[in-house]
């Protein structure tokens, strides 16, 4: 089922999310929500979606990218992952600029600086704990979606004047 996207101005986008307690949730409910989130990003042609963007105040986000170069820089691979209760352990590396947008702020794009590497601790959809290092575009997408679980939007990284101008345009 395709879920409705919450847009800029909705207060849930500015709230810090709560951890998912696996003992309080039925696995089938988590799986259904995750499947619905993937169906939603396919429909809207997104590459990531965080729970607050569908009105849920929980630490959950998903990523599914189109074809990206793998570590060998020879093969293109699709990347798909579920992040539950994610924590950024370390953000490091070279800072680089990239044009970002957001499903909750349609039509607005801006160049944002982020570090190139992260180490993330999280659970997958089965509740298994993982710790992984991500680089490049995967790192950037994860940082963007993680920010949603912290009540932060990509426009918060912009200089004050540009942020103010964008807020006027959005309203």
Residue numbers annotated as active site: 145
Is the CA virtual torsion 1, 35, 80, 19 positive or negative? positive
Q: Which two tokens stand for residue 8?
A: 């800029």
- For residue 76, list its beta bridge partners: 69
């Amino acid at each position: 089922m395709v879920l409705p996207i919450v847009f800029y101005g909705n207060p849930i986008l500015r709230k810090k999310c709560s951890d998912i307690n696996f003992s309080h949730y039925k696995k089938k409910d988590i799986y259904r929500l995750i499947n619905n989130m993937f169906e939603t990003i396919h429909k809207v042609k997104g590459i990531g979606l965080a729970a607050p963007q569908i009105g849920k105040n929980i630490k959950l986000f998903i990523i599914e990218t189109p074809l990206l170069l793998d570590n060998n820089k020879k093969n293109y691979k699709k990347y798909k992952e579920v992040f539950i209760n994610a924590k950024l352990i370390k953000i490091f590396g070279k800072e680089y600029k990239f044009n970002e947008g957001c499903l909750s702020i349609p039509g607005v794009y801006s160049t944002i600086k982020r570090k190139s590497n992260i180490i993330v601790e999280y659970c997958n959809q089965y509740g298994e704990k993982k710790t992984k290092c991500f680089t490049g575009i995967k790192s950037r997408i994860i940082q963007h979606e993680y920010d949603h679980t912290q009540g932060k939007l990509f426009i918060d990284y912009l200089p004050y004047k540009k942020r103010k101008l964008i807020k006027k345009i959005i309203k």
